[in-house]
Amino acid sequence: MNAKPKDMNTKLRSFVAGAVGMVVAFGIVELVHGLYQPVPSVLLAVAQRIIEFTPGEFATRAVETLGKADIPVLITVTIILTLALAGFLAYLSLRSRLLALIGVVVLAAVALAASFTEPSVIPVPTVLTVLGALYAGSTVARFLLNSSGLRTSESVSPPKSPEPDGKPGPEGVRSREAHSTRGIAVPRRNFLLLSGGAAVAGLAAGSAGRLLGGSGAQETSTAAPLKLPGSAASVPEILPAPLPEASIDVPGMPPLITPAEDFYLIDTAITSPRIDAARWTLNVMGEVDNPIELSYDDLISLPTREADVTLSCISNEVGGGLVSNGRWTGVLLSDVLAEAGMSREKISQASEQLVGRSVDGWTAGFQTEIALDGREALVAFGLNGSELPLEHGYPVRLVVPGLYGYVSATKWLTEIELTNWDFDAYWIQRSWAKEGPILTQSRIDTVKDGDTVSAGNVPIGGVAWAPHRGIDRVEVSTDDGETWNDAKLAAQLALDTWRQYVYDWEAEPGEYTLKVRAADGEGETQTEDEAAPHPAGATGYHTVKVTVE
């Protein structure tokens, strides 16, 4: 019985032919994308849509546990699944050309749907590229199938002649036998050579695309110095030192202002949108008297502000690093709203919510009241004296003191819409709390869990934050919360920033469980109850175990 191994071979070869065809198709799209950015990388577009369609709980878990590390996994899985699907379609084409054709049409539809959701896509070249690439890929697959003698096509099928034994049989069987003959004529080695060659060509095209500056080539950006109108000079790159008394000089203390390259990074974008500031616009619309569209130059010609604001992600665990303090440059959100005819007195139920929309469609919404209550909510275009880095929202984002990023801090901002409270923004649709006030939190930074330290003076220090309420008191416990000691506080740089503290501990040998807790400017001490980040932010006291020798 040699039918079985032969059948296995057929399956495998057809599968390889389809997968190689898909490598070629991907390669072509990546190459075009590298040469011409408005044609998106279909691969990344599909992966991006998978992120967006992933159920909230699951997406949340992935973001929490993997941060940015989930992206390579997602892309790899997307590639493997697509190649497998293409392989299956090629195999299917041996049985039914129609079904295979339908499969390719569905692939094209998915690819186009995913691509058209990308920001700054230009339709006609994208359609041509995607269809062209799929056509090329199918052609390669068909050629490989033919070359391995697995199926006929009009051009290569041998002339119809009666079978030697004169038993024509059904069409399918007859053509299969014809292939077998050809299969012998084109040995396995040739099939491998041809497939390998095609795959290498596809990979080369794809790599070239990336090298040419496709999204895959994205590196961490270095932001240019910020230039403002009316002054030939840019904002000084060396920041004026923050209040000296706002910093405590202890090893392990995080800097009062987080350098841009260390600023925590969270978003749903596989690659940061690249926006041309000269063509960027901000629409302020919805329930406003006077909808406006501002250019970048319009925006930066409004009165400029600099504000030190601590931003936190709701996914931050107690003691975690998804919190940073930036010196933001921008214009007051209230000034931008005033341009659109909106003021505090005019807030109605219909304009209760302010929704920021990113060029990539991501949204965040919060109470309009918060934008107009006097706090320094910014339409920001600078971080630490430079333009916003690409990954932190270049050219313009929102920064709202006191609110977690997921409800407020829209990066790559392009639209501000005033609407009612019914609208649910991106993470609200995915089961996170509708309102996101940053909870009072504190963190021990100068000693780490599991550290061994020498007896004597051990400064226990770190940061505490309750943006827009401020920090009034920080206490440290060295006995697992039995007793508490007041920590020394640095000056409060601003109500909206974190505050450094230190407790000078005279440590004696032994095992210790250290804890920290903070009270905000309203006298409210952070809760001891432990809660996970989902759905409204992590609570509990940061706890660190140390050994003193």
Ligand X SMILES: Nc1nc2c(c(=O)[nH]1)N[C@H]1C(S)=C(S)[C@@H](COP(=O)(O)O)O[C@H]1N2
Question: What residues make contact with Mo ion under the rule CB under 5 A?
Answer: 266, 313, 405-406
Verify binding: residue 375, ligand X, rule CB under 6 A: no
Least Cβ distance, residue 370 to ligand X (angstroms): 16
Residue-wise DSSP of 173-217: HHHHHHHHHHHHHS-HHHHHHHHHHHHHHHHHHHHHHHHTT-GGG
List the one residue from 21, 405, 437, 533 that touches ligand X (CB under 6 A). Answer: 405
Helices (H), ranges, 36-96: 42-53, 56-66, 70-95
Cα angle: 208, vertex 213, 218; to 5 degrees? 120
Q: Give least dist CB 359 to ligand X, A.
A: 8
State the minimum distance, in angstroms, from the CB of residue 546 to Mo ion: 30
* Nearest CA among 432, 400, 439 for reference residue 542: 439
Tell me if 266 contacts ligand X by CB under 6 A. yes
Q: How many helices (H) and strands (E) does the chain have?
A: 13, 19
Q: Does 27 bind ligand X (CB under 6 A)?
A: no
Q: To which residue do tokens 């910093």 refer?
A: 247
Work out whether 147 is an interface residue with ligand X (CB under 6 A).
Answer: no
- For ligand X, the closer of residues 19 and 438 by Cβ is 438
In the DSSP assignment, the letter for residue 260 is: G
Binding flag, residue 410, ligand X (CB under 6 A): yes
Q: What share of the chain is helix, strand, coil (3-state, %, to 5)?
A: 40, 20, 40
Among Mo ion, ligand X, none, what binds residue 410 when CB lies within 5 to 8 Å by partner kind?
ligand X
Structure tokens at 186: 């084109």
Under the criterion CB under 6 A, does residue 280 sit at the interface with ligand X?
A: no
CA–CA gap between residue 467 and residue 3 (Å, rounded): 73
Q: How far is the CB of 363 from ligand X (least distance, A)?
A: 8
Residue 472 within binding range of ligand X, rule CB under 6 A: no
Distance CA 304, CA 408 (A): 20
Residue 271 identity (one-letter amino acid): T
CB nearer Mo ion, residue 28 or residue 313: 313
Which of 41, 147, 325, 358 is the binder for ligand X (CB under 6 A)? 358
- In the complex, the smallest distance separating the C-beta of residue 408 from ligand X, rounded to whole angstroms, is 8
- The one segment of 235-243, 373-381, 410-418, 434-442 that binds ligand X by CB under 6 A: 410-418
Residues 6 or more apart whose Cβ sits within 8 Å of residue 363: 355, 356, 357, 410, 425, 426
- For position 406 contacting ligand X by CB under 6 A, the verdict is yes
For ligand X, which is the closer residue by CB, 411 or 542? 411
Pick from ligand X, Mo ion, none: which does 277 bind, CB < 5 to 8 A by kind?
none
Q: Does 257 bind ligand X (CB under 6 A)?
A: no
59 binds, among ligand X, Mo ion, none (CB under 5 to 8 A by kind): none
What does 392 bind: Mo ion, ligand X, none (CB cut-off 5 to 8 Å by kind)? Answer: ligand X
Residues in the chain: 549
Shortest separation between residue 314's beta carbon and ligand X, angstroms? 7
Cβ atoms of 29 and 135 closer than 8 Å: no
Site for ligand X in 312-331 (CB under 6 A): 313
DSSP-derived pairing of the beta strands 488-489 and 456-465? unpaired
Does 477 engage in binding with ligand X (CB under 6 A)? no
**Does residue 381 belong to the site contacting ligand X (CB under 6 A)?**
no
Beta-carbon contacts of residue 167 (< 8 Å; ≥ 6 apart) = none
CB 361 within 8 Å of CB 117: yes
Among the residue ranges 112-120, 262-270, 335-343, 525-533, the one whose residues contact ligand X (CB under 6 A): 262-270
The residue within the footprint of ligand X, chosen from 110, 127, 186, 265 (CB under 6 A), is 265
Taking CB positions, which residue lies at the least distance from ligand X?
A: 405
Residue 452: φ, ψ to 5°: -115, 125
> In 466-508, where do the E strands start and end?
471-477, 485-486, 488-489, 499-507
Per CB under 6 A, the segment of 65-73, 174-182, 409-417, 483-491 that binds ligand X is: 409-417
Q: Toward ligand X, which CB reaches closer, 368 or 414?
A: 414
Which does residue 375 bind out of ligand X, Mo ion, none, counting CB within 5 to 8 angstroms by kind? Answer: none
The DSSP call for residue 409 is -
362 binds, among ligand X, Mo ion, none (CB under 5 to 8 A by kind): ligand X
Residues that bind ligand X (CB under 6 A): 263-269, 311, 313, 358, 360, 362, 392, 405-406, 409-412
